[in-house]
Structure 1
Amino acid sequence: MTRRTLTTAAASLTAAAALLLTACGGSDKSSSGDIKGADTGAGSPSASASTSDAGAPDVSVPSDFHFVFDFEVPSDTKEASALSDAENYIRALKHGISKQDPNDPAYQYYSKGQAAQYAKSQIQAWVKGHWTVTGTDKYYAAGVTTLSGGKRELVTFCRNQGKSYSKEIKSGKILYTAVNADSYVKYQLLMRPPTGSSKAWKASVVEVKGKAKECQK
């Protein structure tokens, strides 16, 4: 199979967060309930990894793996920053996979709590399988909703992983599969603002919904 599925235990979160995660392996294929109160954000040009944070870690990936973030940047500064660092969280997770390091500092810089545990479990699954990433990974239809009077931002977006593949590290063999319902995934990330000397918004909770019909457009 192209996108390996290795499950971890479902995590029940606090009533305030109102999120449930069922984490899956290389495919990020999972099923869970929706987060209530999420809206679609709007803005102008597409977002990209932030370059303004001098302390930010390397989130580069192999040259044969490509991200497409087809996001509209919200006009609100906080929402735009939260969306940018949600993108960086995804980049950092893939960086950890490519480095084969479950303790990679990149994802730890952009996450905490359950979201950091999720990233670590994903990387561990790929390390155990001796796989890395290749192909093109597309993210789109982003939205940002302000929660708790600006103390948190809820970031949502779709993913089409139909052309994102696993590659065996030892043999270099690419494990292809055709695009199907499993290719479409919905992400919801609870982002918390920078604290202390850090300039990064951190994902504290992530929910991943597999076979997302709303993303099949």
Structure 2
Amino acid sequence: MRTRTTTAAATALTAAVALLLTGCGGSDSSGGSDSKTSDEIAGADTGPGSAAPSESAAGDGIERPEIKLPSDVENVFEGGTTGDEAKDAVLADNERMINSIDEAITVDAGKHPALKFYSKGDALLAAATYIKSFYDSGTSWAGVTRYYDRDVTLNGTTSATVTYCGDETKSYSKDRKTKQVKRTPGDADDYVSYNARMEKNAQGVWQTVKVSSERGAERCRP
């Protein structure tokens, strides 16, 4: 499995903030991370990959940054439509938030504009810390992560809560330099429960402001 830290346990390090400003693959004066600044994908295949829900076809008039994942990385989202336009918009931006984090982990580019587009506040700082941990350890990930049991609660017109589960039994740690994938059997810890608080900004984007998670959550296990 690929190791995920819980948002509650993540520390908003100064280095993590610098990561947001310079790009995840940028130079880090603190040492321990990859100093490449190329737009090539480090530790991942470079063929066509999966993307977030179509940015150009979103139909909401919002100019969104493209999110492109490597060909060996895939996030599968179940239950993307509810029949409620507002809830569907929340779920769509929740997907984009998740993909933006995984793009920053798996794609060694100078900038990752989608990261700050879909997250802010505590969620953004925690995401930066989490992403930095992969670069510091010289790892990435490959495989498929499934998200399911997704539910939206609207709190007025500009606030919402999303709960969902993640199945990481088919996503694996990958060495960033050698590209070697460490395939391990799935276990109970590969099932993660998430609770995300989201706010709609003036542009109409549902940004994630806080996320908590529980690894090995019983409610998410088959």
TM-score band w.r.t. shorter chain: 0.7 to 0.9
The answer to whether 1:75 aligns with 2:74 is no
What does residue 45 of structure 1 align with? Answer: none
TM superposition shift of 1:133: 2.0
Task: Report what 1:204 is aligned to.
Answer: 209
Aligned partner of 2:157 among 141, 150, 153: 150
Length, aligned pairs only: 178
Instruction: Provide the identity percentage.
Output: 29
The separation in 2 between residues aligned to 1:72 and 1:6, in whole angstroms, is 25
> Match for 1:214 among 203, 210, 219?
219
2:141–2:173 contact (8 Å) kept in structure 1: yes
| Whole-angstrom CA distance in 1 between matches of 2:122 and 2:5 | 17
Which string of whole-angstrom CA distances, capped at 9 and with x for unpartnered residues, describes residues 67-103 of structure 1?
A: 1111241222211111110110000000001124696
Higher deviation after alignment, 54-63 or 104-113: 54-63
Q: Is the 8 A contact 1:23 1:208 kept in 2?
A: no
8 A contact 1:100–1:126 mirrored in 2: no
SS of residue paired to 1:177: coil
Q: Does the CA-based 8 Å contact 2:191-2:216 persist in structure 1?
A: yes
SS at match of 2:169: coil
Structure 2 residue matching 1:163: 3-state secondary structure: strand
Task: Give the partner amino acid of 1:22.
Answer: A
Which letter does structure 1 place at the counterpart of 2:147? Answer: Y
Unaligned runs of 5+ in 2: 12-51
- Does the CA-based 8 Å contact 1:101-1:127 persist in structure 2? no
Tell me the SS of whatever aligns to 1:161.
strand
Cα distance in 1 for residues equivalent to 2:221 and 2:207: 28
TM-score (norm 1): 0.75
Distance 1:174 1:104 in 2: 24
Task: Extract structure 1 runs of 4+ deviating beyond 6 A.
Answer: none
Q: Distance in 2 between matches of 1:90 and 1:211?
A: 19
Aligned counterpart, 2:46: none
Judge conservation of contact 1:6–1:125 (CA < 8 Å) in 2.
Answer: no
